[in-house]
Amino acid sequence: MPQHAMGDKHFLSLPKHLFTSTSSTTDSGCDTPPSSRASPASLRSAHGALGSSSQPLFEPQVEKRSSQAAREVQYLSSGPQSTLCGWQSFTPKCLQVFNTPKGFLFFLCAASFLQGMTVNGFINTVITSIERRFDLHSYQSGLIASSYDIAACLCLTFVSYFGGNGHKPRWLGWGALVLGIGSLVFALPHFTAGRYEVEIDDEGLGTETGTCLTNQSQVECKDRASGLSSYRLIFMLGQLLHGVGATPLYTLGVTYLDENVKSSYSPIYIAIFYTAAILGPAAGYLIGGAMLNVYTEVGQRTELTTDSPLWVGAWWIGFLGAGIAAFLIAIPILGYPRQLPGSQRYVVMRAAETQQLKDHSRDNPAFGKTVRDLPLSVWILLRNPTFILLCLAGATEATLIAGMSTFGPKFFEAQFSLSASEAATLFGYLVVPAGGGGTLLGGFLVNKFKLRGSGIIRFCLFCTLTSLLAFFVFLMHCPNVHMAGVTTGYVGSLLPKGQLDLKAACNALYCCQPRHYSPLCGSDGTMYYSPCYAGCPEGAVTGPGGQKVYRGCSCILEKASSGWGNATAGKCASTCQSKPLLLVLVFVVIIFTFLSSIPALTATLRCVCDRQRSFALGIQWIVVRTLGSIPGPIAFGWVIDKACLLWQDQCGHQGSCFVYKNEAMSRYLLIAGLTFKVLGFLFFVAAYFLYKSPSVSSDGLEASLPSQSSASDSPTEQLQSNV
C-alpha cells in the first residue's frame, strides 16, 4: 500500500501477517491492490487498520472456540489532535459537528460560488462599463480578462504539486484570502479615479448645428486624453490575485473531497461542488446586471438614463462585497484538519479503481515530496494517453464555455435588441438551471448507474454528441432591426450592399457628428443613430414611460398623415419570431455541455495514480487554461468582431462595435462551435479506446469492506477484525 502523508505521519503499514504473500509490490502499477493477494476476511482486517482516524493500538487477544481456534486482533483508537477542527490549540467541541465531509463541502461550495460569481460573473457583466468609464479599448479589456488564467497557469504546477502533499485546507484558506484581496484591488479604481462626470447634450439639430469645425473636434480629442486607461494595470493586478487565490480551489479542493468520502459518493460531492461554481457566475450575471441599473456615483443625481450610451452603472459594488465575503469564508476553511476523521478507510477502494501504471514511485513512499521528483511526475502523466486525451477534450469544452460566457450576453443583446443589463439578466436566467442543473445531474447519473472507467467516457461521448447536434441552433438568427444608414436606407430608399451612409437629404443641411451614439426608435419602426441623424429638432419631452420623446423629425415620415414623425430614445424592440426556439436550443447546448463536466473529471481521477491526483488536476488545469480558457474569449471575440457593421470612432481610432449583423454572427459562432465540439468528440473517442480497465473489480472490493453506515466518524470507535 502507498504511504501518504497524513497529519505529520504516514499511513500505517498493514501488518505482514494479514496477507498470505510476503511480496509487497508488483509490476502492475503505482499501488498494489491487496484483494488480489488476500481473502475478504483479511481485507476487513486491513480496512480496520486503515479506517481508524488515529494511531491504532494493537492488542492481540487469544480465545479458544469449539469450531476453531483463532487469534482475534482488536484495533482501538483514540482521537488525536490532528483530526480535530479548529485553529492551533483552539479546538472546542462545538466545532466538531462541522468536522465532516458535508461540513467541509458547505464551506468549499461557498468559496467556489464566490469565485465563480466574481471572476466569471461580475467581470463579464461589467467589462463594457469599465471600458466606458476608464477609456479602455477592447484588446485592453480582453487582456484584463485573460490575466486571471495567466496567473492560474503560472501557479498551478507549484500549488498542485506541493499542496497535494501538504495541508490542503490551509492552502485553500489562504487562497480564499488572496481571492478577497484581489476583489478589493479590482474595486480600488472607483475610489481613486475621481468622480464620473459627463456633459449631457440634448442631441437635436440645434445643439449640433455649427459643430463642423475641425479644430473643435481636435480640441475635444485632446480633452478626452484623461489618462484613465492606465488603471487597466490595477484591474490586471486584481485579476492576477484572483487567479492566484482560485488556483487551489479546483485542484486541492477536489482531491480533498475525493480522499475523504466513499469512492461511490465522490462524484456526488464533486458535482455539488461544481454546481456551486456554476451557480456563482449565474448569480454574478443577475446581481451584476442589477447593479448596472444603479448609477456609479451612488447618491449623486444625474440626468442620464440606463439607455444612454454614456451611462455607467455601479460596477464596483459587487467586487467590494465579494472581497469582504471571501475573508469570512477563509476563516472556517483554515480550521479544518489535514485529514477528516475516518477517511483512511477509503484508500483501499480508491486504489482498486485507479488505473494501474508502471512507475518508479511505487517503491518509494517519499516520492513527490521534493522538487527533484517533479520531472518524473510529469513524465508519468505524459505516458498516460487516457489522461492526455481527457485534458485535450476538457480544453475544447473550456474554449466554448469561456467564449460563450464572455460573449453570450452580447449575442443576446444583438439578436434580441436588448440593453446590456437586460441581456446579462436573461443570460443569467438561462445559465442557472442549465449550467447548475447539468453539473449536478452529471454527478448524480455517474453514481446512480455506478459508472466506472470506460462507462464514464461513453457517457461523455453521448453528452458531447448531443450538444454538438444542438449547436446547429446557430443556423437560426433574429433579423436585424432596421437602422437608417446601416441596415436600410432613409425614407424607404435602398442601401447599397456593404456600404454605410448615415447622411441623407433629410439631414444633409445640418452638421451631424457621429461622436455620440444615442440610438432612438422612430414611429416608422426604424432605428436611428442619433436625434440629429433622424432630423429631430432640439429639445425632447418626457413620455408616459419616462423616456425622452422627440417630435417633428424630418427623416421620419408618418404613412397615415404624410407628415414628420416622432421618435423615442432607445433601441427598437425586436420582433424575432424564433426567439423561444432559439432560447430552448441554447439551453440544450449549455446543459449537455455541463452534463459531461463531472463525469470527465471523475474519469481523470480514476486514470491516474492515487498520490498523483492533485498534481494531475493541476496539469489538467494548465492544459485546459492554456489551450481553452485563455484563447477562448480571444477567438470568439475575433469571430464576433467579423460580424460588426458599425464601429465607434474614437478620434480616428476604431473603438467598440455599435451594431452587429445578426446573420453573420450566428454563422460564425456555428463554425467556431462545431469545430471545437467535433474535436472534443474525437478526443473522447480516442480516450475510450485507449483506456485500460483496472485489474481489480471495485464492486467486489466494496462488498468485502464494511458499509458506509458501519464506519462511524467517531474518533473513539472500536473496530474488531478476525484473522
Please provide the DSSP assignment of 500-544 as one string: -----TTTTTS---TTS---EEETTS-EESSTTTTTPPS--EE-T
Provide the sign of the torsion angle of the four alpha carbons 42, 43, 48, 54, taken in this order.
positive
Residue pair 611/363 in contact by the 8 Å Cβ criterion = no
pLDDT of residue 319: 93
- 415-465: per-residue pLDDT in tens? 888 877 788 788 878 877 888 788 888 888 888 888 887 889 999 999 999
Residue 447 in domain = yes
Residue 220 lies in a domain: no
Instruction: Identify the residue whose cell numbers are 483496472.
Output: 694
**pLDDT, position 220:** 53
The rounded distance, in Å, linking the Cα atoms of 358 and 334 is: 36
Burial of 446 (0-12, 13-18, 19+ CB in 10 A): buried
**Contact residues for 158 (Cβ-Cβ < 8 A; gap 6+):** none
**Sorting pLDDT into bands at 50, 70 and 90, what band is 48?**
very low
604 near 387, Cβ under 8 Å? yes
Sign of the C-alpha dihedral, residues 588, 589, 590, 592?
A: positive
Domain co-membership, 238 together with 336: yes
Residues 694 and 502: beta-carbon distance below 8 Å = no
Does residue 556 share a domain with residue 584? no
> Does one domain contain both 509 and 651?
no
Strand partners, 486: none
pLDDT at 673 over 60: yes
Report which of 530, 512, 511, 510 is spatially closest to residue 521, judged by C-alpha positions.
530
- Please report, rounded to a whole number, the percentage of residues in the chain having pLDDT higher than 90: 15
Rounded Cα distance, 652 and 455, in Å: 58
Average pLDDT over residues 642-650: 78
185 located within any domain: yes
Supply φ then ψ for residue 483, to 5 degrees: -125, 120
pLDDT bin (cut points 50, 70, 90) of residue 310 is: confident
The one-letter amino acid code at 711 reads: A
Tell me what the mean pLDDT of segment 666-683 comes to.
Answer: 92
Q: Reduce the DSSP state of residue 633 to 3 states and report it.
A: helix
The residues, ordered by sequence, that sit 6+ positions from 186 with a Cβ below 8 Å of its Cβ are 234, 235, 238, 239, 242, 319
What is the rounded CA–CA span in Å between residue 700 and residue 348? 12
Length of the chain: 723
pLDDT at 654: 65
For residues 94 and 177, membership in a common domain is answered with: yes
The answer to whether residues 337 and 450 belong to one domain is no
Q: How many CB atoms lie within 10 A of CB 71?
A: 11
Q: Is residue 163 part of a domain?
A: yes
Torsion of CA 571, 573, 575, 581, to 10 degrees: 100
- 658 three-state secondary structure: strand
**Residues 511, 217: Cα–Cα separation, whole Å:** 13
Average pLDDT, integer, range 488-506: 69
Helix (H, G, I), strand (E, B) or coil at 622: helix
Residue 588 and residue 632 in one domain: yes
Q: Which three cell numbers stand for residue 627?
A: 489551450
Average confidence (pLDDT) over 210-230: 52
Domain presence at residue 6: no
pLDDT score for 511:
74
- Is the residue at 721 inside a domain? no
Torsion sign, CA atoms 450, 456, 458, 462: positive
Is 368 inside any structural domain?
Answer: no
3-class secondary structure per residue, 309-334: CCCCECCCHHHHHHHHHHHHHHHHHH
Mean pLDDT of 122-145: 78
Classified as helix, coil or strand, 33 is coil
Task: Say if 511 falls within a structural domain.
Answer: yes
β-strand pairing of 527-528 with 541-542? unpaired
Domain residues for 495?
482-573
> What is the pTM for the complete model shown?
0.65
* Burial class for 650, CB neighbours closer than 10 Å (0-12, 13-18, 19+): middle
Is the same domain home to 345 and 398?
Answer: no
The predicted pLDDT at position 214 comes to 42
How does pLDDT run across 193-215, given as a tens digit for each residue? 888 876 554 545 544 444 344 44
Is the pLDDT at 35 greater than 80, yes or no? Answer: no
Q: What SS3 state is found at 669? A: helix
Confidence of residue 679 (pLDDT cuts 50, 70, 90): very high
Other beta carbons within 10 angstroms of residue 577's beta carbon come to: 10
Q: State the DSSP H helix or E strand holding residue 129, giving kind and residue range, or none if neither.
A: helix 123-133
* DSSP structure class, residue 28: S
Instruction: Answer yes or no: do 388 and 426 share one domain.
Output: yes
Q: What is the per-residue pLDDT for 39?
A: 41
Q: Are residues 642 and 538 in the same domain?
A: no
- Is residue 346 very low, low, confident or very high in pLDDT (cuts 50, 70, 90)? low
Answer yes or no: are the C-beta atoms of 178 and 244 closer than 8 Å: yes
Q: Tell me: do 564 and 594 sit in the same domain.
A: no
CA 368-369-373 angle, to 5 degrees, is 45
Alpha carbon 192 to chain centroid, angstroms: 30
Reduce the DSSP state of residue 67 to 3 states and report it: coil
pLDDT winner (highest mean) among 13-22, 386-395, 576-585:
386-395
pLDDT for 255 equals 84
Among the ranges given (22-31, 246-255, 608-617), the one the predictor scored with the smallest mean pLDDT: 22-31
pLDDT at 124: 80
Residue ending a domain, choose from 310, 337, 355: 355
Number of Cβ within 10 Å of residue 431's Cβ equals 27
Least confident range of 158-162, 273-277, 319-323, 676-680: 158-162
Verify that 610 and 507 share a domain, yes or no: no
| 635 has pLDDT over 90 | no
Q: Is the pLDDT of residue 256 over 50?
A: yes
Q: Do 329 and 415 lie in a common domain?
A: no
Report which of residues 616 and 368 the model is more confident about: 616
CATH number for position 265: 1.20.1250.20
| Statement: residue 586 has pLDDT above 80 | yes
558, pLDDT greater than 60: yes
Backbone angles phi, psi at 478, to 5 degrees: -95, 135
Looking at the structure of the chain, the number of domains it has is: 3
